[in-house]
Structure 1
């Protein structure tokens, strides 16, 4: 991969890694469901005027918007509002790769290969250790909500496998039309009109910049760069870089928010990253080993 494209990959990873810090900053001034609704309004408008609608039946666009856009971020924002640290959120959310394996096997009959199963077990043991840390560092409810966010992302992944080759940016932009109304409805129900009015009246520069970053940098720019790379390289060459997202999330959160992981969380984080790496690279390594032995 040329240096220019490598820089594009790393730029995308940094944008997505810092995304978790920005969510925390946004939640300082806006409640989670209102933040979600405003974010996706900015993603969809005015981008939909310039981005072609993907050639998909409406039901599949609804399914994508309801899982990856609404479900994932409703649970993630709520988790971080309930104390999930940004760095740990960036790591636990990567459990989507493991949920994707399980859901793909259950719903579309994809086999779980030996390397993937091993990776799943290693990463699951890491998540268990993080959970055993209890309320001391990471609230259990926040951890469970983040795992729900990962599961919704995984459901969306399984759904998008039915689409075949598709313009990722178009899917993200038009899928962003789905979440605003449910987000605002959830905001009215969970957060109430008084809190909504107070948040909007006291909207400050930090909240505005957070919304701009979440909508345009993390979503439109991030997915545009990623889509461009996927169109020119095999997914196997691009996807492994996503392992760096938690590295950026954890290190930047430590710098900005002084987030510190407990010893148990460090061990759990190592196991999660190892499991994800085994899932990504294990099949090729086994194939190479068999070729040498054979």
Structure 2
């Protein structure tokens, strides 16, 4: 990856790291009432898709690929993540556990796309995973098993979406984000209708306050339109094993923001684990010293 692409990958990690606190605050609402998670997710992706779907050309990929990306990377990942956060998963821990997708993506890409990671990338992913385990040990005492399992399911869904996006090789990351967002709202509204009921949905919309609004703006603009546009573009240009390790930076950012905003103070094990993860990222994304290959302008 070029230095520019590496910096863009770091920017994505920072945006996504702050996303967990934004979602947590939005789900809590500003009036002490919890916002229904699937209704909240539906609102987010309606705003991701509209009005841009009328302005951005359809991605140059099959409908099956676009629907699959929307189903796994958006609906599956965030549906399970919002559910986990709504049922007691701490925001900082969620930012950590979700990064199981790094190893899962590399493994699935190796099997499905025959993209074999280099020894250095594999070693970096293993070191980063070891850091995740250390943080999980430090954080796990206060975590319920059900939200934890749900978050791991979100990580698996994200990993499958990563590989589908890579296989599709869509040139415009923005088009894929916008058009795949159409997959999310209707299933989420249906789930909320069944689980929460129409009365709760109407009441939640009537009480849609500043916390929910600011959270939605951050998740729509920062995390989805900017973050996923950059990320999908990088995945189309580079092997998954080169891009995904950067996302190991998300947990330190998520834990720091949860500490500053929510008072989730990391203990010694969590801090050590975050440091180990940073070492893993460095190992995975820096190549051995050899002459650089300059790509021709496209």
Please, what TM-score do these two structures have when normalized by structure 2? 0.81
User: Aligned partners of 1:134, 1:254: CA distance in 2, in Å?
Assistant: 13
Displacement of 1:219: 1.6
1:152 to 145, 151, 157: 157
User: Aligned partners of 1:156, 1:239: CA distance in 2, in Å?
Assistant: 12
1:36 to 41, 63, 66: 41
Indicate the larger mover: 55-64 or 228-237.
Answer: 228-237
Q: Structure 2: state its 5+ residue gaps.
A: 30-34, 293-298
CA change 1:164–1:73 in 2 (3 A) is: same
Aligned residue number for residue 291 of structure 1: none
Displacement of 1:10: 6.5
Matched, 1:247 2:241: no
1:196-207 matches, cutoff 5 A: 196-207=201-212
User: Aligned partners of 1:199, 1:233: CA distance in 2, in Å?
Assistant: 42
1:249-288 matches, cutoff 5 A: 249-281=254-286, 284=288
Q: Are the counterparts in 2 of residues 40 and 177 from structure 1 also a CA contact under 8 Å? A: yes
Helix, strand or coil at the partner of 1:52: coil
2:94 to 89, 92, 95: 89
- Report the number of matched residues: 287
Q: Are the counterparts in 1 of residues 246 and 285 from structure 2 also a CA contact under 8 Å? A: no
Helix, strand or coil at the partner of 1:176: helix
Aligned residue number for residue 122 of structure 2: 117
Please, what TM-score do these two structures have when normalized by structure 1? 0.81
Q: CA RMSD in A?
A: 3.6
CA change 1:79–1:66 in 2 (3 A) is: same
CA change 1:11–1:128 in 2 (3 A) is: closer
1:1-294 matches, cutoff 5 A: 12-29=12-29, 30-133=35-138, 136-224=141-229, 242-281=247-286, 284=288
User: Aligned partners of 1:236, 1:110: CA distance in 2, in Å?
Assistant: 8
User: Aligned partners of 1:155, 1:269: CA distance in 2, in Å?
Assistant: 25
